[in-house]
Amino acid sequence: MEAKIKKEVLEIYKKIKDAGFEVYLVGGCVRDLIMDREVKDWDLTTNATPEQIQVIFHDSFYDNKFGTVGIPYEEKKIEDEGLERKNYIEITTFRTERGYKDLRRPDQVEWGKTLEEDLKRRDFTINAVAGDIIFTNNDYRLQLIDPFNGQDDLINKIIKAKGNPYERFQEDALRLMRAIRFAAQLGFKIEQKTHEAITANSRLISHISFERIRDELLKILESNNPYEGIKLLDETGILEIILPELTKGKSISQVRPDRHHKDDVFTHSLLSLKNSPTRDSIVNLAILLHDIGKSYVASKDEQGLITFYNHEVVGARLSKEIASRLRLSKKQREKLYTLVRWHMFSVSEYITDSAVRRFIRRVGVENVRDAIDLRIADRLGSGVKAESWRLRKYKDRIEKQLNPPFSINDLAVNGHDVMKELDVKPGPIIGKILNKLFEEVDEDLSRNNREYLMKRIKELGQEMV
């Protein structure tokens, strides 16, 4: 078959072949080539041992017991960290595996002698496909090796466990979520017996570390089909194990004659995710969790109508606990908490510009558009239009205040002015006066001039000193 393979991959592949070893493309990269998708990770398998590979590639590295050697092939700058990092092609020696006492990693790993042995240990038919690059003059072609009919399942858009699905999931319980993640990423269906085996073995996911669960969950949430992925997690019983706070909303009705909600809290949360305008995994997690507090604060008022007072406060606290459980980074935890905590922001046409600026400071400039995305998803998940005229107007007002956002550093005076005017040394009084000035100016930006502020410094100093 015709395939677009990176030049660096071809060079490494040919070098291994020329050294007299077998080598094949394997797993996800072959799957992506068949589907004509961009390949992000190139994986090779070979009968050469790690030590033999390192003789061929002197700059390679090998530091694990699973026979995987990394070969750097391209330097790439990671801008957000400002570091120079290398991309690697992973080359793994044929291997067989035995025993999975921890339901995650094999107890015994032995080098295999054939490609077929290696493919037998893999999880799903679509990943148990290999490709041999056949070089002809100045060209090449990819010859598929597909003993488990993975290509047919790719054509039919099916996720199917290789062999006995019960055995596959009991070997490695993370495969329960990997199956669902692949279905969400590729837009595939899970084959019936595989689906039944996931459901029957769902409790095994509790043996998997939350770091691994987090990785799969976030990949589902950033896929093209996050709603379908979360639905599958729920159908198979996995969701109530990893996010019990969310599934608790199944029994909580939101129906009131004076509100637009038509579904229970859980259904609304999933429909909000279905209508998310973003593929950002943390924002989508916030959309999924934005109403989890409702299950904990639900009550009825004097008219017998259900209420959810302070659900955003309780929900934010719960989301912080979930973030800790999932081992999210500090930045991710703060973003999740902020979006859930402030998702009930008012968009009334009567609020002042200073109130808009307070909202921006409260959620952070970097989170403002994500908060709007959450509001849009929330509205669509409730069965109403994406944007009301008030929300559109509010967005316009936010844009005006964002350029740039007004902060205490923008005052026409600073701490030195306070110390000089009041003849005081550095101390808490400086910050108190600057904060008071900021509050006054934030209410009326026309007050941000030195003459007015120096006068107020003297007046505040008389009151506070």
Residue 45 corresponds to which tokens in the numbers above? 């398998």
Question: What is residue 63's predicted lDDT score, i.e. its pLDDT?
Answer: 72
What pLDDT is stored for residue 258 in this prediction? 54
Contact in structure between 394 and 402 (CB atoms under 8 Å): no
When the pLDDT of each residue in the chain is averaged and rounded to a whole number, the result is: 89
**Helix, strand, coil % in the chain, rounded to nearest 5:** 55, 15, 35
Position of tokens 């930006």? 445
The per-residue pLDDT for 121 is 86
Given this model, what pLDDT does residue 261 score? 63
The reported pLDDT for the residue numbered 84 is: 41
pLDDT above 90 (res 130): yes
Q: What is the pLDDT of residue 311?
A: 96
| Domain 7-155, CATH among 3.40.720.10, 3.30.460.10, 3.40.50.1460, 3.40.50.150 | 3.30.460.10
What confidence score (pLDDT) does residue 88 get?
Answer: 80
Are 21 and 162 within 8 A, CB to CB? no
Q: Is the pLDDT of residue 312 over 80?
A: yes
| Predicted local confidence at residue 257, as pLDDT | 60
Give the pLDDT mean for 155-180.
95
Q: Where residue 386 falls among pLDDT bands split at 50, 70, 90?
A: confident
Q: Which CATH architecture has domain 249-401?
A: Orthogonal Bundle (1.10)
pLDDT for 189 equals 98
Q: What percent of the chain has pLDDT over 90?
A: 59
Domain boundaries, the chain: 7-155, 158-242, 249-401, 408-464
**Helix extents (H) in 222-364:** 226-235, 239-242, 244-247, 265-274, 281-289, 294-297, 311-325, 330-341, 353-363
Q: What is the pLDDT of residue 81?
A: 38
**Given a cut of 60, is residue 75 above it in pLDDT?**
no
pLDDT for res 440: 86
The pLDDT assigned to 101 comes to 63
Rg of the chain in Å (alpha carbons): 29
> Which pLDDT score is estimated for 25?
97
CATH number corresponding to 158-242: 1.10.110.30
pLDDT at 446: 83
182-202 pLDDT per residue, tens: 999 999 999 999 999 999 999
Given this chain, do its domains 158-242 and 249-401 carry the same CATH topology? Answer: no
* Residue ranges of E strands in 186-225: 189-190
Mean pLDDT, range 158-173, rounded to an integer = 94
The pLDDT of 213-241, averaged and rounded, is 98
| Residue 83 pLDDT exceeds 80 | no
Query: What is the mean pLDDT of the segment spanning 250-254?
Result: 85
Its sign, for the CA torsion 375, 376, 381, 385, is positive
Instruction: Tell me the pLDDT band of 398, cut-offs 50, 70 and 90.
Output: confident
State the average pLDDT over residues 133-138: 89
pLDDT at 363: 92
Which has more confidence, 302 or 158? 158
pLDDT (0 to 100) of residue 214? 97
Q: Report d(CA 65, CA 68) in Å as an integer.
A: 8
Q: 141 pLDDT band (50/70/90 cuts)? A: very high
Assign 443 a pLDDT band (cuts: 50, 70, 90).
Answer: confident
Lowest mean pLDDT among 123-127, 219-223, 251-255, 377-381: 251-255
Q: How confident is the model at residue 327 (pLDDT cuts 50, 70, 90)?
A: very high
Q: Look at residue 13 in the predicted model and tell me its pLDDT.
A: 95
Q: What pTM value is reported for the model?
A: 0.83
Token pair of 49 as six digits? 């041992």
Which residues, 6+ apart, have CB-to-CB distance to 440 below 8 Å? Answer: 447, 456
Grade residue 142 by pLDDT with cuts at 50, 70 and 90.
Answer: very high
Residue 79 pLDDT > 60: no
